Amino acid sequence: MGLKPISQRGRWQTPGWVGIFCKIRQSCYKDGMMATVPKTKSVRLFVKPWCGWCHKAAKWLDTRGIHYETLDVIADPAAEKEMWKLSGQGLAPVIDVDGQILADFDPNQLAEFWKRFE
């Protein structure tokens, strides 16, 4: 399901207005949850496949309609090296949002970190 904006009266807009309205209001709905269109250029999520926090971070981003690149640090040694360089540690998840780094976090910490991009 794509992003669907809400009007000021709480009514759904027609699909043709989705992109324009979301950009103007900076808020949309995705799968019944309020989503904020981020003012970011690049979002990268460094993960380990078995990491529960990594799965929760990806779900948090997905439910808000945030586009991001996933880098598996187990399968990709270069991604692991970059994660270490950015965060100074080997714990996952690590998120890089336009050069701002949050390492080894839970969904509540991600939500607090994300407020600076809204």
Give the global pTM. Answer: 0.68
Fold exhibited by the domain 43-117? Glutaredoxin (3.40.30)
Per-residue tens of pLDDT for the chain, all 118 residues: 344 434 333 333 334 433 333 443 444 544 455 555 556 689 999 999 999 999 999 999 999 999 999 999 999 999 999 999 999 999 999 999 999 999 999 999 999 999 988 8
Q: Quote the pLDDT of residue 117.
A: 85
Q: Quote the pLDDT of residue 25.
A: 40
Interaxial angle between packed helices 52-63 and 107-114, expressed in degrees from 0 to 180 and rounded to the nearest 10: 40
User: How many helices, marked H, and strands, marked E, lie in the chain?
Assistant: 4, 6
Q: Quote the pLDDT of residue 23.
A: 40
Query: CATH 3.40.30.10: which residues of the chain?
Result: 43-117
Q: Quote the pLDDT of residue 48.
A: 97
Q: Quote the pLDDT of residue 40.
A: 63
Q: Quote the pLDDT of residue 41.
A: 80
β-bridge mates for residue 78, sequence order: none
What does the alpha-carbon distance between residue 83 and residue 25 come to, in Å, rounded to a whole number? 34
Q: Quote the pLDDT of residue 2.
A: 43
